[in-house]
Structure formats: structure tokens, C-alpha cells
Amino acid sequence: MATSWDPAAITASAKNLGSIMNDTSVFDALVNQWPDAGTLPLAEWIERIVDDRRNALVEHAQTLKITLEDMQTSLTQIANNFQNTDGDNAAKIKAAIEDLEKQVSGDIGNYQQTTENDQGNFSGGNTGKGDGYSDDLTKPMS
């Protein structure tokens, strides 16, 4: 049985993967929605729990989007290399596959650091600032 490659099919699949998360408006709408349960300690704790769950949902959606977009880029590059396959391009294809994991990890890490720096959680009816997307729910707000 012979292995065959269809660069056009790979490119089409890459485009489809990259477009899965094009519309993230439902997740984007959650970003600045902070509950206001009041200023009692239990109310503030509930707010932080809700913030944590909302942040997890938004972050998972963004992580999926980054991953799929990076896959689109790598698969497109692989398809382009297949069209001109020779000894050198086989090495390029292998390198593109190996670099995909590094690219996804790097892009997600950059997204998380930017989010952590920019995102303040916890309304509590005051100007308190939570710890971005890495809020430690076991520690009281100060």
C-alpha cells in the first residue's frame, strides 16, 4: 500500500481548522462581566469563584483558537512543502511538525502573560484588584 499526499486537501483542512474559532464573540462578551454580590466576605468569595469559572471558559476558548490558528499555519506550510517535495523539503516538513508544539506553547504563554497583566478581577463594590486569571481562591483579598 502506497502513501499519497494531497497538498490541496491539506490546505483546505488547514483553512477549515483555522476558521473554527473565528467567531468568539460569545466568549469576548464574558471578559468584562464581573458579578457584584456585595462586600461581605462570603459575597466576595462567591464573586471570585464566578470570576475564576468565567476566566477558565474564556481562556480555554482563546487557547483553542490559538492552537487551531497555529495548526493552520503549520499545515499550510507543510502542504506548500509537499508541492515541491525533494530531499530538502522532507526535512522542512519534519521541522514544521516539530515546531508546531513550540509555536502553540509560545503563543499560549504569551497570551496568558498578557491576560495576567491586563485582567483585573473582583468587583466587590470597590476598587479591589484580583490576580488576573491566576487568582488564588484560597487567599483572602487584601
Lowest-confidence range among 6-10, 23-27, 32-36, 107-111?
Answer: 32-36
Q: What's the predicted TM-score (pTM) here?
A: 0.69
Per-domain residue ranges for the chain?
37-126
CA–CA separation, 36 vs 40, rounded Å? Answer: 11
% of the chain beyond a pLDDT of 90:
25
Q: How far, in whole angstroms, is CA 31 from its chain's centroid?
A: 14
Summarised one tens digit per residue, pLDDT across range 55-110 is 889 999 999 999 999 999 999 988 887 776 665 666 777 777 778 888 888 888 88
CB 51 within 8 A of CB 121: yes
Summarised one tens digit per residue, pLDDT across range 118-142 is 665 555 444 444 445 556 666 666 5
CA–CA separation, 46 vs 36, rounded Å? Answer: 9
